[in-house]
Amino acid sequence: MLTLNDVKKGKADKVDQAIIDQFRRSSILFDLMPFDDCVAPGGTGSTLTYGYMRKTTASPAALRNIGSDYTAGEAKRTQYTTNLKIMGGKFGLDRALNIANPQEVAFQAEEQVIAAKNLFLYNVVNGNADTVFDGLSKALTGTDTEITSAADLSTVSATTALVIIEELNTAIMACKRKPSVILANSKAIIKLKTAAAALGYLTRSEDSFGRQVEGFDGIPFVDAGRYYNDLLGHDVDIIPTGGDGKTDIYLICLAQDAFHGVSPSGGKVINSKLPDFANSSDAVVYGFVEMIASVALKDTRGAAVIRNVKVQTPTVATTLKVTVTGNGAGAVVTVNPATLPIGHKYYTAVNASTIAAPSAGTAINTSTYTALPANGVVNVTANYYCRVVQADAELYPVNTGEGTAT
């Protein structure tokens, strides 16, 4: 098992060392996570697959009387595989720009590090093996370390702080060892710090680079951050806050028998190349930063999740731009933005008079609202109103807008 600091020590190139340090600085999770660097291409060399056993049930123990025997019972493990994925990007610079601004290479390389880091963290939490690899959200669903919160931290008081502190302690005790990090989005981190400080549980330490880190009971809080969604064209939270104002908090034990990263053999988890202007005659010279990795949860008690922690009072935005083209059965409803975050959908309702916006924090009624078809065809009588609502996976409204058929 290697940490990124171990990988750095194995690199002779100073540029490679600097890139790895940027990954480490970008997130405490990256700095602390061990990687099992044992994966080599199999078969024709087209895949990088890691197989492991996940402990799902502990071995039982019992009392017995003299002359009697135990009832057989074994610890249970399930076999899993995960495919390593290549995450990163390349950037090109014109040689004239490099002459004018030599710092641009460093800037672009750092931005690529941030992008690769955010994409990896997104999949650490939200990944699905159908497209990438299973993240913690999927792996912990239905386990004993999945806890449903009763905390309302939209306003932190001594009473609400006690609720979340008890839930944190419950999650810690459910894990096989003391967690290495508490991972959440920025809204949740702010509330957790406030709650911990209110009750005297806020602790402070230093990371590997001498920066102050705040946490709970010595476990550092880690902001999962945001990642750039190409389809949406803007940043989104890696751990989202739903339309009901609720989010999830993860407690992660980083260890070989708990939760860890997986990488190719030989410490090749991070690879990079900066533009070599000196040895290229091209006008635009390219560099790249990439990460080859996956994750493995070896024990369902190697991590815990506190679901549905309320961190803000829910609101419904009113910025959807709704256009109804035509009328009657052939009317077409278009919505801007056209692309939605993962799990969100558009729903429509039609009425002769204007339709009130849905209430924040209350799931929409699917007998009133129906999903907007992919082709946008909705039966809207001339001069009727069409209300469109963007709802999350739990049907809580997030955004809305209204249009009229002409």
Residue 60 lies in a domain: no
> For 285-326, what is each residue's pLDDT tens digit?
999 999 999 999 999 999 999 999 999 999 999 999 999 999
- Predicted local confidence at residue 208, as pLDDT: 86
**Shared domain check, 111 and 84:** yes
Shared domain for 383 and 329, answered yes or no, is yes
Both 223 and 368 in one domain: the answer is no
Number of C-beta neighbours around residue 45 at 10 A: 8
* 265 lies in the same domain as 325: no
Model confidence at 141: pLDDT above 70: yes
Q: Does 148 lie in the same domain as 267?
A: yes
Q: How far apart (Å, rounded) are the C-alpha atoms in residues 300 and 145?
A: 7
**Per-residue pLDDT, 361:** 92
Residue 406 neighbours by CB distance under 10 Å: 12
58: pLDDT strictly greater than 80: no
How many Å apart are CA 281 and CA 302, to the nearest integer? 52
What's the pLDDT band for 236 if we cut at 50, 70, 90?
A: confident
In a domain, residue 361? The reply is yes
CB 366 within 8 A of CB 398: no
Write down the pTM of the prediction. Answer: 0.86
- Is position 68 within any domain? no
Structural domain harbouring 188: 4-55+79-310
Is the bond into 102 cis (omega within 30 degrees of 0)?
no
**Token pair belonging to 149:** 């919160």
pLDDT of residue 44 exceeding 60:
no
The rounded mean pLDDT for the chain is 91
Specify the pLDDT at position 73. Answer: 80
Structure confidence at residue 35 as a pLDDT band (50, 70, 90):
very high
The answer to whether residues 157 and 180 belong to one domain is yes
339 pLDDT more than 80:
yes
Distances (CA, A) of 52 to 39, 45, 47, 92, 137: 12, 20, 16, 39, 19
| Sole residue written with tokens 């669903």 | 141
- CATH number for 303: 3.90.1690
Residue 336 lies in a domain: yes
